[in-house]
A = this chain, B = another copy of it.
Amino acid sequence: MHLVPAAYSIIMAYDQLKLENQLCFPVYAASRLITREYQPLLEKLDITYPQYLVLMILWEEGQLPVNDIARKLILNTNTITPLLKRMEQQGLLERKRSKEDERKVMVQLTEKGEQLQEQAARIPEQLVSQLSKSDLKAEDLIRMKEQLNALIGFLSK
């Protein structure tokens, strides 16, 4: 005898097709809303959110091939390539083929790209201070971050 009869199971299946019952939609919506929250801050630096992510990596790591940047952001290279080209146009970075391995294109910040770090330094805390106005507690957000990272670890292999 089943604990979950077939008919009940089908009802449950249809019930899960309601938007409110899904985990995935909140992640999707939150992602867009967070990007939107960053935008006025990033606009002052004339960059977008994905470009800001690239900059964060380069500020931390220095010179890096395209592939490594894509892997760190869990993005495909066909997303990164035009993004990096736009950033090169803006004079934020340079792309050069590696001498050691000619398949690799090394990406390196220009002086202008380096200097943006100073202006960007206050962005994270501005976002944190925004969030502190909500009911969400810091420890909840930290736990959420860890769980999301666990989820990412599971889904990205």
Interface residues of A (CB under 8 A from B): 10, 12-14, 16-19, 21-38, 49, 53, 56-57, 59-60, 72-75, 117, 120-125, 127-128, 131, 133-136, 140-142, 144-145, 147-152, 154-156
Contacts and interface: CB of A to CB of B under 8 A. Distances in A.
The dominant DSSP class at the A interface is helix
B152 A26 contact: yes
A30 B117 contact: no
Contacts of A27: 27, 30-31, 34, 148
B152 A30 contact: yes
Contacts of A142: 23
Contacts of A156: 29, 33
B145 A26 contact: yes
B26 A155 contact: no
20 contacts: A13-B125, A14-B117, A14-B121, A16-B124, A22-B145, A23-B144, A23-B148, A28-B31, A28-B53, A29-B73, A30-B151, A31-B31, A33-B151, A33-B152, A34-B155, A134-B154, A135-B150, A136-B151, A141-B147, A144-B147
Contact of A17 (B28, B32, B117, B136): B117
